[in-house]
Every structure is written in structure tokens, then in C-alpha cells.
Structure 1
Amino acid sequence: MSARNVQAKIHFQKMKTVLTNKHISIEKRKRALQCHIEPILMYGCEAWTISKQIQDKPEATEMWFLRRMLRIIWTAKKPNERVLDEAN
């Protein structure tokens, strides 16, 4: 699972110019995230034994992606609900 997170984050960094561009609507950037990066993150998930820890990691990685797409710095201390509201 950890290797999947790292690979997805590396791919996100490669696409950073597109995914963090404020001139592109958030809907299109989210769609690009779903099409290009989410499959890398979730590859092989059918074979995972689901525990609470394994369930939380993809969600935390998704929040990491959204915070960078919206350019929210980590010192802002925004709760996940507000980040999700901004992304929608």
C-alpha cells in the first residue's frame, strides 16, 4: 500500500502544472485526478485485506491531492470537510 501512495504522489508531481493550474476548473482537475492518478493509487485493491489503517491511507492520500490542487498550505489547519466543500 505504501508503494502505491508513493507512486501516485510521484505521478501527481509530474502532472502538477495541470492539476494546480487555477485557470482550469476544479471539476476538470478532479476528473484528471480520477483518470490518471486514482488508478495508480488503487491498483490491486481487490486483493488487499481491509483494516481500518489500510482504509484510511487512500483517503488521506486523496485529501493530500485535493489540498495541493486547491493550494491550501498545511499551516492553514483547515478540516477535511471544508476542503471537500471547496473541491465540490
Structure 2
Amino acid sequence: MNEQEVREALIEWENLSANKENKVLYEARLKYLRDQLSNIRGERRLGREEGMASIIQRMIERGLHVSDIVNITGLKEEEVQEILSDK
């Protein structure tokens, strides 16, 4: 399920929640969908972090200095150093 599908499902469930009989089902489904959305966002963040770490590592291997990496990536020097120390 992608982010747009999750959002559409949330809207649909909000419309169905007007019926009190559906409230329990609605709340359970809403919790599930919010969890899914959180997972999607978390995976994207993790992917970006792993990608940036890989790129920084390749820059170091090619002889770029940390100051150059900071200028290219827009990260702070501390962030670059932290990524390098995690490797």
C-alpha cells in the first residue's frame, strides 16, 4: 500500500464513521492505516539515511575532504562525522 492509497482509505473510513455501528471497526481500521503510513514514512527515512551514508562513504573513498562533503550535501560537519563513525 502506498501513501496515497492509505490517505484515500483514511478519507473513506472517516465518511463511514458517521454511523455509530461502524465506529469500532472504523477506529481499528484507522489505527491500522495510521500504523501503515508511519511504517511507509519510516522506511523512506531509513532509505534516505542509508543512501546518504553510502554516498558519503564513496566521496571519502574518492579522496574528498569532510569540508567538501559538507559543502556538497548541505549537512553539518557533525552529521557527516557521525555517519562516518557509524561505518
TM-score calculated relative to the size of structure 2: 0.31
Larger radius of gyration: 2
Q: Of Structure 1 and Structure 2, which has the larger fraction of its residues in helix?
A: 2
TM-score calculated relative to the size of structure 1: 0.31
Kindly indicate whether structure 1 or structure 2 has the higher relative contact order, using CA contacts under 8 Å at least 6 residues apart. 1
